[in-house]
Amino acid sequence: MSMAEDMFVSLRLPTETLFEGRATRLTAVAENGAFGLLPNHVDFVTALVPSVMTLRMADGTEEIFGVDEGLLVKKGHRVVAAVLRGVRGDDLGTLNDTVKAKFIEMDDEERQARSAFSRLEADVVRRFAELRKPQL
């Protein structure tokens, strides 16, 4: 593998890509603690826990994200993190409020979807039960 100054990072949610771009450093938290990745780090796979992920960009700026559980894979100079939920933040102070608001909103939507699915499932079961009744 050649030596690189940066790595391509993709942060994906189930319905969209939250971030794609080049970074010189990534920090995140796995089940066994916090870790950092540099472009020439050995290939790496880990499960992420709900936490803050930071990316140092080539121009020295920093991007921060609040992420839920997921999986991170680094292969070569490419990092892909797939998380259940995630939000981009401006700074650590406001990220906590953003995460709470966004995740609560997602929880409400998920609860509504589960409720609708349960009603649909009950209707299907009821209709199958009606099909099994003897026809007179």
Per DSSP, the residues of 55-93 read EE-TTS-EEEEEE-SEEEEEETTEEEEEESSEEEESSHH
What pLDDT is stored for residue 106 in this prediction? Answer: 66
Full-model pTM: 0.70
Q: Which residue has the tokens 């992920």?
A: 53
Question: Would you state the pLDDT for residue 104?
Answer: 62
Q: Which domains does the chain show, CATH number per domain?
A: 7-132 (2.60.15.10)
Residue-level pLDDT at 136: 65
Which parts of the chain register pLDDT below 70?
Answer: 1-2, 100-101, 103-109, 135-136
CA distance 17 to 11: 6
